[in-house]
Structure 1
Amino acid sequence: MDQEQVIAYIKENNIPKVKFAFADVDGVLRGKVISTKKFLDGLKTGYGFCDVVFGWDSNDVCYDNVDLTGWHTGYPDKLCYIDLSTFRTVPWQDNIPFFLADYSGPHGNTVPADPRSLLKKTIGECKSMGYHAEFAQEFEWFNFKETPQSLYDKGFANMEALTPGMFGYSVLRTSQNSDFYYDLFNLLTQFNIPIEGLHTETGPGVYEAAIEHCETLAAADKAVLFKTAVKEIASKHGITATFMAKWNQNLPGCSGHVHQSLWSEDETENLFYDGTDENKMSELHKQYLAGQLYCMPHLLPMYAPTINSYKRLVEGAWAPTTITWGIDNRTTALRVINTSIGYTRLETRIPGSDTNPYLAIAAALASGLYGIKNKLELNIAPTVGNGYQDKSNGSLHANLFDAATAMQNSSIAKELFGAGFVQHFTQTRLWEHRQYAKSVSDWELKRYFEII
């Protein structure tokens, strides 16, 4: 719908309120319900939001190390703008109209830390180079027979999984929770997040969903909305869904793999495919992949943004630890899929389900374009076999502190995303590390409480 059609829809259906939201640095949706009058009045002038939403962490604790906002600025309002192209209705909330917003207004991006605006800038660069990019993200997550209150009452211990046992690709387990299972598929599709596939993964109560691929910004929007939508639908069934990368040391982690390809401007030709090449990869595809390999150590926090992310990035956990690529190899950081012309693509396997989709997709696209612009040669051979053992091109940083410090000092990161974003984002990641460093874990209590 264009603006006139949206306004007509609102008026003709006597809709009293609409809902809108935007994603913060952590990918958490921040938003509100507003009256139709306020919605219509703000379409051109924007909507004021206290800029603390970019000045606090995922637990609403204010950062003490960022310049963009803080007590020193007085936490003023910044104007966000609704993107009418994101219009959809929420089927599990009486079909209330819903929109996504960002901080890209008539005067440009007013908040350098805004993830959606950052991705839009990268997409603009892609288009200026003559390419149409297609993306999709897939997610794994665990489901529990818990409520927010029961989780707090239990201290997030002894949680009851939706189903017991290791039942990957199980028809039985989904049938035993068919109301929830089919609500996910049907309601997400009605919410304009079409699902290609939905199934159990190996682990108690764990599901995986693949979202249909589409234009880059729409793909990121759908990925961001997917996580919150799943949580809301789950809540309707008395279930809590978690997108932590690794909630239990004895169970597999949860991925958020990013699939991507570049197409001609008219979207008719997959520019990643070359039938004459041994691996069906075009020169453009090779340069794009080389760019991701080269930029990977510089941008790792955009793929792995939390302390917990790195608990998943360990050997033998179906997540990469080395800077590697391979043909249909699930042990490498980058996996080339070349089964047909239409489906030839690159899968970036570093992101977990805790990722901020706008940032993960921006990192993948920007680093790929960097490889094309600089005509980087793919001089690293594809890994055959165990990617965990192939350390010839180095390994990924093993923790958030090292990854954030490397990004903070990286000229590549600043070239791709600007010094303002890099400074703010890495400071928030270093804050996250400091909060973790001063905490006392259950592991420490169990190990030292009595014996030391």
Structure 2
Amino acid sequence: MNTDQVIAHIKDNNVQKIKFAFADIDGILRGKVISKQKFLDGLQGGYGFCDVVFGWDSTDTPYDNVEVTGWHSGYPDKQCYIDLSTFRMIPWEDNVPFFIADYTGPDKNALDVCPRSLLKKTIAECDELGYVAQFAQEFEWFNFYETPQSLQHKGFRNLEPLSSGMFGYSILRPSQNRSFYNDLFDKLTQYQIPIEGLHTETGPGVYEAAIHHAPTLEAADMAVLFKTAVKEIASQHGLTATFMAKWNENLPGCSGHIHQSLWSADGGKNLFYNGTDLNKMSELHKQYLAGQLYCMPHLLPMYAPTINSYKRLVEGAWAPTTITWAIDNRTTALRVINTVEKNTRLETRIPGSDTNPYLAIAAALASGLYGIKNKLNLDIAATKGNGYENKSNGVLHNNLFDAATAMQNSPVAKELFGDGFVKHFTQTRLWEHKQYAKSVSDWELKRYFEGI
């Protein structure tokens, strides 16, 4: 629907309430339910929203180290704006209208720390270069027969998974849980998040879904909405879904791989493909890939944003640890898929399911464009065999503190995303480290409580 059609739909269908939301720095949706009249009144001037949403962490604890807002500013309102092109109906909530918002105003000025606004700036740079980027994100996540109340009561221990055992690509398990499984596929598609594939992964109660590719902003919107939608659908089945990167040390982690390609302005030609090249890669593709390799250590927190992210990025856990690439190799950071022309693409394998899709996709696109604009040569050879053993081009930081510190001091990160965003984002990541560093874990209690 265009703008006039959306407004007409709201007016003509006796709609009394509208839900809208935007993503905070962690990719968590924050929003409201508003009346029809408030919705119509704010379409031009926006909606005042307390800017604490960019001044607190995922537990609503205010940061003590950011400048964008805080006790020093009094936590005022900032204007957010609904994007009418994101209109969809929520099928599991009696078809309540839903919209995505961000902090880019009609004058195109944007709040530096708004993730969706940041991605829109990166897309504009891609447009200026004459390319149309297509993206898709896929997610793995675990499902449990738990509620928010039971999780608290159990202290997040001894949880009951949706199914038992390690049974990847099972046909049996989905059939045993067909009501939930079918609701996921059908209702997500009705919610304009078309699912390309849905299956079990290896692990108790773990699923993987691939979302259909789309233009960059639409793909990021679908990825952000996917995580909350899955949690809401799971809740209706008495389940809790988690998108932690690694919820259990003895089980595989959960990925959030990003697939991407660049196309001609008319969308008719995949610019990553060259049939005469040994690896069927165009020069543009090689430059894009070289840009991601070069920028990877400068932008790692945008791919791996939490303390928990780095528990997944360990050797032998189906997640990369080295700055590597290869053709169809799942042990490297970047995987080139070149089976047929229309599907030729690059898969960035660092992100886990805990990523903020707007930031992870922005990092992937911006660093790829950096390689194109600077005509970087792909001097790093494709890895043959085990990517964990190829440390010739360096390794990824293995913890959030080092990764965030590197990004904070990186001129490359500031060139790509500006001083304001880099300062704010890295401060929030260092805050995460600070909260973790002062905590006392179960591991410490078990190891030291009696014997030390």
**Map of 1:228 onto structure 2:** 228
CA distance in 1, matches of 2:359, 2:218: 14
**Map of 2:417 onto structure 1:** 417
Instruction: Give the aligned length.
Output: 452
**Map of 2:398 onto structure 1:** 398
Give 4+ residue runs of structure 1 displaced > 6 Å after superposition: none
Task: Read off the aligned partner of 1:164 and give its amino acid letter.
Answer: S
**Map of 1:262 onto structure 2:** 262
Deviation at 1:266, TM superposition (A): 0.2
Q: Say whether residues 1:138 and 2:138 are aligned partners.
A: yes
Q: Say whether residues 1:106 and 2:106 are aligned partners.
A: yes
**Map of 1:187 onto structure 2:** 187
CA distance in 1, matches of 2:391, 2:284: 25
Whether the aligned pair in 1 keeps the contact of 2:195 and 2:209 (CA below 8 Å) is: yes
Give the match's secondary structure for 1:104: coil
The share of aligned pairs that are identical, in percent, is 80
**Map of 1:160 onto structure 2:** 160
Whether the aligned pair in 2 keeps the contact of 1:324 and 1:383 (CA below 8 Å) is: yes
CA distance in 2, matches of 1:67, 1:8: 41
Whether the aligned pair in 1 keeps the contact of 2:140 and 2:243 (CA below 8 Å) is: yes
**Map of 1:60 onto structure 2:** 60
Task: Read off the aligned partner of 1:431 and give its amino acid letter.
Answer: W
Give the match's secondary structure for 1:45: coil
Task: Read off the aligned partner of 1:19 and give its amino acid letter.
Answer: K
Whether the aligned pair in 1 keeps the contact of 2:331 and 2:388 (CA below 8 Å) is: yes
Q: Say whether residues 1:337 and 2:337 are aligned partners.
A: yes
Deviation at 1:2, TM superposition (A): 1.5
Give the match's secondary structure for 1:165: coil
**Map of 1:382 onto structure 2:** 382
Whether the aligned pair in 1 keeps the contact of 2:188 and 2:226 (CA below 8 Å) is: yes
Give the match's secondary structure for 1:43: coil
Deviations 1:37-57 (A, max 9, x none): 000000000000000000000
**Map of 2:294 onto structure 1:** 294
Give the match's secondary structure for 1:108: coil
Deviation at 1:111, TM superposition (A): 1.8
Give the match's secondary structure for 2:421: helix
Deviation at 1:3, TM superposition (A): 1.4
Give the match's secondary structure for 2:133: strand
Larger deviation, residues 38-47 vs 101-110: 101-110
Deviation at 1:322, TM superposition (A): 0.2
Task: Read off the aligned partner of 2:116 and give its amino acid letter.
Answer: R
Give the match's secondary structure for 1:5: helix
TM-score by length of 1: 1.00
Give the match's secondary structure for 1:418: helix
CA distance in 2, matches of 1:150, 1:83: 37
Q: Say whether residues 1:252 and 2:239 are aligned partners.
A: no
Whether the aligned pair in 2 keeps the contact of 1:109 and 1:117 (CA below 8 Å) is: no
Deviation at 1:135, TM superposition (A): 0.1
Deviations 1:113-134 (A, max 9, x none): 1000000000000000000000
CA distance in 1, matches of 2:110, 2:71: 19
Whether the aligned pair in 1 keeps the contact of 2:87 and 2:99 (CA below 8 Å) is: yes
**Map of 2:11 onto structure 1:** 11
Whether the aligned pair in 2 keeps the contact of 1:89 and 1:98 (CA below 8 Å) is: yes
**Map of 2:207 onto structure 1:** 207
Give the match's secondary structure for 2:43: helix
CA distance in 1, matches of 2:9, 2:218: 22
Deviations 1:112-161 (A, max 9, x none): 11000000000000000000000000000000000000000000000000
Task: Read off the aligned partner of 1:195 and give its amino acid letter.
Answer: I
TM-score by length of 2: 1.00
CA distance in 2, matches of 1:145, 1:355: 24
Q: Say whether residues 1:70 and 2:70 are aligned partners.
A: yes
Whether the aligned pair in 1 keeps the contact of 2:110 and 2:117 (CA below 8 Å) is: no
1:85-124 aligned at under 5 Å gives the runs 85-124=85-124
Any unmatched runs of 5+ in structure 1? none
Task: Read off the aligned partner of 2:51 and give its amino acid letter.
Answer: D
Give the match's secondary structure for 1:271: coil
Whether the aligned pair in 1 keeps the contact of 2:325 and 2:382 (CA below 8 Å) is: yes
Task: Read off the aligned partner of 1:369 and give its amino acid letter.
Answer: L
Deviation at 1:106, TM superposition (A): 1.9
CA distance in 1, matches of 2:110, 2:79: 8
Give the match's secondary structure for 2:93: coil
**Map of 2:357 onto structure 1:** 357
Whether the aligned pair in 2 keeps the contact of 1:66 and 1:424 (CA below 8 Å) is: yes
Give the match's secondary structure for 2:343: coil
Task: Read off the aligned partner of 1:94 and give its amino acid letter.
Answer: D
**Map of 2:129 onto structure 1:** 129
Deviation at 1:85, TM superposition (A): 0.3
